[in-house]
Amino acid sequence: MAQDYVDACETFTPSLDLLIVDESQDFERAWAHAVTQNLKSSGELYVMGDSGQQLYTREAFDLHDAVHIRCMDNFRSPRKVVHTINTLGLSQERVVARSAFAGETPHFYTWAPGAVNSLTALNQCLKQLWDDSYKPEQVAVVSFHGVKKSEALAQETLGGFKTKRFSGYDASGNALWTDGALLVESVYRFKGQSMPVVVLCEVDFEELTDKEKRKLFVGLTRGQVRVDVVISEASAKQIL
């Protein structure tokens, strides 16, 4: 579909007075060119992106004569979560905490082969959330992995509740979901969204690369009130 749009863009009749491109760090150069073909010569273009949330390999692009404005203010995340992000060095530039809510430092639950497995640690984390009076509808379980590698995304129940999981599309292209109260998503699909409480689970990597830092940054900045992290012992040693 994307390629069809790119192929057709030269035939577009410009009709837009204003075009806003969001999540531009995930745009291919050709996509950016294609969407701007719909903009009138007198139109205005706003492009917003965050290289700290770039989870896909994309070639960077620039816009001729653009005015660049940089802002590292974060209004969504509790201040203590932003402090954790800065302490762990997950952003190339220091993030400025602007939320009025201090919140809590993220809670870390670890697992190790032969001791506690990832799903057991995740269920322990969720049980603590229920004990702290949070409801499943307020929580998103976000896997550090994609659909193919995630165990959590395949579970019908977690923490004693049925899970709401993406299950494909209907004939009209509408997303289909399983019937459950507890949302379970991958960090790739949940980027750009938020919930009061986010549990970033299945955090496991061999080396703390820039990409792993960006995935951690995305996961930690999804929570509005609280963020918990379920991480392998080996990975925890690398970041902590």
Type of residue numbered 23: E
pTM value is: 0.85
Same domain, 205 and 134: yes
Distance of CA 201 to the CA centre of its chain: 12
Q: Quote the domain boundaries for residue 13.
A: 2-53
In the predicted model, is pLDDT for residue 92 greater than 80?
Answer: yes
What pLDDT is recorded for position 64? 77
Q: 106-127: per-residue pLDDT in tens?
A: 999 999 987 889 999 999 999 9
What pLDDT is recorded for position 238? 93
Same domain, 81 and 39: no
Residue 62 lies in a domain: no
Q: 166-192: per-residue pLDDT in tens?
A: 998 899 989 899 999 999 999 999 988
Query: For the chain, how long is the longest CA-to-CA vector?
Result: 64
Tokens of 12: 């577009």
In the predicted model, is pLDDT for residue 51 greater than 80?
Answer: no
Same domain, 121 and 218: yes
Q: Rounded to 5, what percent of the chain is helix, strand, coil?
A: 30, 30, 40
Same domain, 47 and 163: no
Same domain, 210 and 171: yes
The Cα–Cα gap between 30 and 7 comes to: 10
